């Protein structure tokens, strides 16, 4: 879709107006403006340079990208307006005036214009996949089909907020230990590259034999000071090669399987994925989406290739007439408690409620696991950081003490 700078005349008053608007082409722009009572006189497609000056720079677009909180707030406001029986077109117009993020405002403006032209709400949202996910679009489509758009919007808001809260808990809990680890690495690097070489010249001037740990420290420091750029280049090249490998189908599957098998972080990743799986599937089923399409959507929100493979195989088994629980249990990636509760929900006809109960239980389990990891990681990082700095200090102080004793004699 192109961006046009236009000039026109308001048909009712004869007043000249100008502005910027998105349209497929100049003919479509003339049609859109005519609906607003404006007769188009000139239209110029914006150049790349002018769009950059008006805020389409990559950096600015990054900071103006709508967050999960922005999407959740917009969805809840829209649900309130729709529940008050305000037409969807007018509801979107009211939202556009309140939205602060430019990217979200432009997307909603485009959605509103498409709805005015007869496009369904879900199809209009689907034209903006970077803002509205497949899950979001499919739930809106189900709400439109069933006439329960306001209820679906409320459930979407709750789901988005719960997912954001879960992600925030994990991120905030691990941020401090990772910050400490990075800070400690910087301190040790500065000591090894900047401080130890200066002390080395003092030891060399005396000519005394040094303890093995001091000699080893000096050797490592000399290597780092001379070859730090090689290490940096190797690290960058290794990281790039790893990302290339991880982006392949086989590489992502192998790496995600390895992550699930890690002794400490693996169970946490599994818990987060199961919570996301059960809550998303329950939300979709309550919105009236059939099981197989819901499974296809859920597969794309797990964030782990190994679990995505399991869900894909489970979907194939369901098409052949099996239950949900059996293929999940056979995979060995879903705990027996989860598959047992899903089986009970299938037999009792309360699958959505059982899935929500599993999600609540695993949200609590994630909280406990994150607290445990935080309480474990912080002292471990302090021990390693203190041990590294202490070893460097000891390796420097001990020879200095011996030199002082030698001089006093």
Q: State CA 34 to chain mean position distance.
A: 41
Q: How far apart are CA 191 and CA 243, in angstroms?
A: 31
- Which residues have C-beta within 8 Å of that of residue 30, sequence separation ≥ 6? 40, 43
Domain boundary among 89, 117, 132: 132
Residues 120 and 224 in one domain: no
Residues 45 and 82 in one domain: no
Residues 127 and 173 in one domain: no
User: In the sheet where 16-23 sits, what is the strand order?
Assistant: 16-23, 2-10, 38-45
CATH of the domain at 101: 1.20.81.30
Residues 256 and 400 in one domain: yes
Q: How far apart are CA 344 and CA 57, in angstroms?
A: 53
Residues 223 and 372 in one domain: yes
Return averaged pLDDT per consecutive 10 residues of the chain, 409 residues in all.
73 71 76 79 61 46 72 90 89 85 86 87 89 86 82 86 77 76 79 73 66 78 80 92 91 91 86 87 85 86 87 90 88 89 90 90 85 79 81 78 59
Residues 50 and 82 in one domain: no
Residues 114 and 183 in one domain: no
pLDDT of residue 50: 46
pLDDT of residue 19: 66
Q: Which 3 state secondary structure label does DSSP give 108?
A: helix
Assigned domain for 138 exists:
no
Residues 88 and 197 in one domain: no
Residues 251 and 216 in one domain: yes
Assigned domain for 125 exists:
yes
- Which residues have C-beta within 8 Å of that of residue 230, sequence separation ≥ 6? none
Domain extent for 249: 156-409
Assigned domain for 53 exists:
yes
- Which residues have C-beta within 8 Å of that of residue 300, sequence separation ≥ 6? 134, 135, 308
Residues 405 and 261 in one domain: yes
pLDDT of residue 59: 44
Residue 12's φ and ψ, nearest 5 degrees, are: -75, -40
pLDDT of residue 58: 47
- Which residues have C-beta within 8 Å of that of residue 134, sequence separation ≥ 6? 297, 300
- Which residues have C-beta within 8 Å of that of residue 150, sequence separation ≥ 6? 79, 82, 83, 143
Q: Which 3 state secondary structure label does DSSP give 136?
A: helix
Assigned domain for 238 exists:
yes
Q: Strands, E, within 31-117: which ranges?
A: 38-45
Closest Cα to residue 257, out of 307, 331, 312, 332?
Answer: 307
Residues 116 and 57 in one domain: no
Domain boundary among 29, 61, 93: 61
Residues 98 and 30 in one domain: no
Closest Cα to residue 78, out of 160, 164, 151, 165?
Answer: 151
pLDDT of residue 52: 44
| 75 neighbors 153 (Cβ within 8 angstroms) | yes
Domain boundary among 132, 148, 182: 132
- Which residues have C-beta within 8 Å of that of residue 78, sequence separation ≥ 6? 91, 92, 95, 153
Assigned domain for 151 exists:
no
Phi-psi region at 15: left, alpha or beta (left = phi > 0; alpha = psi -120 to 50): beta
Closest Cα to residue 389, out of 187, 206, 231?
Answer: 187
Residue 23's φ and ψ, nearest 5 degrees, are: -165, 160
Host H or E run for residue 2? strand 2-10
pLDDT of residue 216: 81
pLDDT of residue 405: 58
pLDDT of residue 234: 93
DSSP label at residue 25: S
- Which residues have C-beta within 8 Å of that of residue 74, sequence separation ≥ 6? 66, 95, 99, 104, 108
pLDDT of residue 406: 52
Domain count, the chain: 3
Helical ranges in 247-335 per DSSP H: 249-260, 265-286, 291-299, 305-319, 325-331
Q: How far apart are CA 122 and CA 375, in angstroms?
A: 45
Assigned domain for 143 exists:
no
Assigned domain for 320 exists:
yes
Closest Cα to residue 395, out of 203, 131, 262?
Answer: 203
Assigned domain for 18 exists:
yes
């Amino acid at each position: 879709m192109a961006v046009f700078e236009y000039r026109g005349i308001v048909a009712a008053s004869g007043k000249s107006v100008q502005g910027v608007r998105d349209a497929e082409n100049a003919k479509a722009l003339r049609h859109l403006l005519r609906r607003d009572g404006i007769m188009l006189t000139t239209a110029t497609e914006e150049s790349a340079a002018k769009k950059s000056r008006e805020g389409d720079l990559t950096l600015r677009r990054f900071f103006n990208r709508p967050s999960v909180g922005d999407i959740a707030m917009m969805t809840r406001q829209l649900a309130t307006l729709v529940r008050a029986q305000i037409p969807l077109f007018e509801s979107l117009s009211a939202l556009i005036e309140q939205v602060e993020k430019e990217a979200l405002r432009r997307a909603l403006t485009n959605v509103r214009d498409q709805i005015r032209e007869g496009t369904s709400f879900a199809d209009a949202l689907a034209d903006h996949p970077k803002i509205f996910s497949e899950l979001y679009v499919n739930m809106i489509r189900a709400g439109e089909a069933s006439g329960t758009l306001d209820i679906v919007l409320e459930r979407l808001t709750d789901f988005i907020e719960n997912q954001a809260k879960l992600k925030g808990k994990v991120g905030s809990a691990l941020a401090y230990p990772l910050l400490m680890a990075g800070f400690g690495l910087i301190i040790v690097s500065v000591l090894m590259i900047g401080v130890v070489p200066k002390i080395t010249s003092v030891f060399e001037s005396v000519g005394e034999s040094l303890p093995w740990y001091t000699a080893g420290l000096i050797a490592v420091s000399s290597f780092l000071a001379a070859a730090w750029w090689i290490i940096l280049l190797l690290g960058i090249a290794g990281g790039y090669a790893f990302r290339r490998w991880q982006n392949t189908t086989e590489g992502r599957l192998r790496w995600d399987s390895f992550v699930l098998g890690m002794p400490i972080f693996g169970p946490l990743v599994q818990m987060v994925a199961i919570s996301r799986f059960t809550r998303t599937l329950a939300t979709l089923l309550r919105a009236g989406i059939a099981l197989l399409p819901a499974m296809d959507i859920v597969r794309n929100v797990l964030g782990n290739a190994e679990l995505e493979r399991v869900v894909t195989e489970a979907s194939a088994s369901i098409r052949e007439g099996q239950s949900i629980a059996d293929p999940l249990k056979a995979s060995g990636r879903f705990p027996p408690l989860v598959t047992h509760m899903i089986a009970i929900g299938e037999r009792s006809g309360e699958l959505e409620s059982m899935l929500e109960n599993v999600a609540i239980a695993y949200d609590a389990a994630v909280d406990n696991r994150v607290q445990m990891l935080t309480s474990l990681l912080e002292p471990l990082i302090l021990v390693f950081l203190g041990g590294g700095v202490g070893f460097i200090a000891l390796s420097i102080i001990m020879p200095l003490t011996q030199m002082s004793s030698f001089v006093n004699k």
